[in-house]
Every structure is written in structure tokens, then in C-alpha cells.
Amino acid sequence: MLLSIEDLIDPDFQTYEELKQLKNDFLDQDEIFILLKPKEPRPLNKQELCALRSWIFDITEYRKDIRAVVSTLGIQWPKETDSKFQVTPILNPDCLRGEKNEEEQLKKSYAQLVTSPWKGSLIGNDGNDVGVLIYPNARSDSSFYGTFNLEVIDELKKSLFDNVLTKHPDLKAHWIGDGIFQYYLKTGYETVPGLNLLISLFVIIFFFFFLGTFKSSFLFLQLVTWISLPVYAGMAIFDHPIDVLSSSLSLMIFVASLEDFIFLSKLS
């Protein structure tokens, strides 16, 4: 089943292979990007940053299905003195001493971040949001849905909610990225059978109300079924995936057949 954005691109495009090679070289695939920001415009405070750092440490340390995590808290900058040269995080609150007031230091850190190359990616243009970029491990075995275990997203959402958002209700999280695209596309695919059943029920009621019989509705539904079978069989034979459009084939066949069927029913 088609879930990857790359699979929506025509393989005959000259840049298709270059895109795949680029994503493979930089391990840029299935990314899950979380944008955290307060509900009112302001930078994250020390307590919120420390809660986020603790959560990032937990998922990095204890989850084996996460390949890498990149965040605003991990952005580093070189510092040079007379005796040494070191690279330290720009946004580095002292979480071991929670009572320590670091408001001025955090303001300087945010000001430095919004003038850095990471402006507009891991830090917002106004410095009022931070980003967490998560790369899940690709599945080693074949998968019907997507290229990684999409249950990871549900688990990450619950974990972030329990460990960060419930403790700091002023924060809100936005989930974006290729991995999120796959997640919601899978959710959409899973609703299609239920939608088809609902339409079938509507057809039965609609036909009885306007034609005065249940027989015509069952004949119509059988017609749609028999037309759909060779279509999906052909897709399977020619190895055509179910994508955003083809997942609605049954609905398109239904709409295309409805008018002619009612017309022929009236003639008879």
C-alpha cells in the first residue's frame, strides 16, 4: 500500500533517482518533526525546556525504534578563549538546579539562535518555538503500511502528552513531516471500508424511498461489486499500489454507475 511521498513522484522524472540518493545519503526519510510553542507568543521558559530535554533523553536512551533525534536543545556553537576551544549548546539551561534564575541567559540564547543558520528550521523566526526532529528506524521486514512502524507515532504522542504537555499545559505541539504524512494517510485508508459500508446503507434507504423496493438497491450494490473486482484484480496483477486516488475507486465506480442504473430502473 502506497504511503510514501516519494512514491507519488513519477519514476521517469530525471530528478527522481537523485532525490532518492540524496535522502539515502543524508538518512532523510520518515522524519517526524514536532514543533513546540506556547499558546501565547513567548519563548519557552526554563521549566518547559528541562521537561522537553528529559523527554528527548528518555526516547533516545530507551527506545530502540528511534534512529536519531535532533532538536533545538542540541544546537551547538564554538567558543574560544586564550587557553581552550570548545563547542557547547547554545540553549543550555541548568536543569539540575531548577531554582537557579536563568532568564537573562535564556534571552541571550534565543537571540543568538534567531540569528543563526537554524533560524526558520529548528527555531522559529521570532524565537517563540522549538523543534524536535525524530528519525524512526526503518522496518527490517516487509510492511503493508509504510516503511516504518507507524505505531511509533501514537506512542510518541502519548509519551509527549504525559511527560511534557500535561505538566506544562501552556504548551502545544504540532506534528509534521513525512512520517506524519504516512500516519494520517494510513488513518484515512482505514476509514475507507467504513465509508463504503455507510454509503451502502444510504443506497438501500435511498432506493427504497425513491423506487419503493429493496431489490433494486441490492442489484445496484452487486453491480458495483462485480465492476470493482476486475479493477482491483488488474491493479494486483500489474503491481499497482493503492494510493490517495485509487483508495476511492469504489466510490468513483459507485457515482459513475448510479445515474445510469436509476435511468434503466425507471425504464423497466
Q: Could you read off the pLDDT of 151-203 as tens digits, one per residue? A: 899 999 999 999 999 999 999 999 998 889 888 888 877 887 888 888 888 88
The more confident residue out of 249 and 71 is: 71
Kind of pairing, strands 66-71 and 130-136?
antiparallel
For residue 6, pLDDT over 70 is answered with no
Which residue type sits at 26? F
- Banded pLDDT at 142 (limits 50, 70, 90): very low
Q: Is the pLDDT at 1 greater than 70, yes or no?
A: no
Q: What's the CA gap between 134 and 266, in Å, rounded?
A: 59
Would you tell me how many other CB atoms lie within 10 Å of the CB of residue 216? 20
Task: Return d(Cα 39, Cα 172) in angstroms, integer.
Answer: 6
Beta strands in the chain (DSSP E): 32-38, 66-71, 76-80, 85-89, 130-136, 171-176
Torsion of CA 165, 171, 174, 180, to 10 degrees: -10
CB of 168 within 8 A of CB of 82? no
Lowest mean pLDDT among 38-47, 71-80, 86-95, 258-267: 258-267
Among 1, 32, 27, 52, smallest CA distance to 153 is for: 32
pLDDT of residue 120: 86
What pTM value is reported for the model? 0.76
Q: What is the DSSP letter of 162?
A: I
- Which residue blocks in 63-177 are alpha helix, DSSP H? 103-113, 151-160
- 3-state helix vs strand vs coil in the chain, percent to 5: 50, 15, 35
Which is higher by pLDDT, 218 or 35? 35
- Using only C-alpha atoms, the chain has a radius of gyration, in whole angstroms, of 26
Distance CA 114, CA 124 (A): 7
What's the pLDDT band for 140 if we cut at 50, 70, 90?
low
d(CA 56, CA 59): 5
Low-confidence winner among 44-53, 71-80, 228-237, 249-258 (lowest mean pLDDT): 249-258
- Residues pairing with 79 in the sheet: 86
Q: Are 190 and 184 in contact (CB under 8 A)?
A: no
Average confidence score pLDDT of the chain: 84
pLDDT of residue 37: 94
Q: Identify the H or E element spanning 58.
A: helix 46-62
* For the ranges 82-96, 204-218, 229-243, the one whose mean pLDDT is highest: 82-96
* Residues whose CB is less than 8 angstroms from the CB of residue 68 and which lie 6 or more positions away in sequence, other chains included: 27, 134, 135
CA-wise closest residue to 160 among 53, 8, 7, 16: 53
Which residue is associated with the grid cell 491493479?
235
pLDDT at 67 over 60: yes
Averaged pLDDT, 22-39: 82
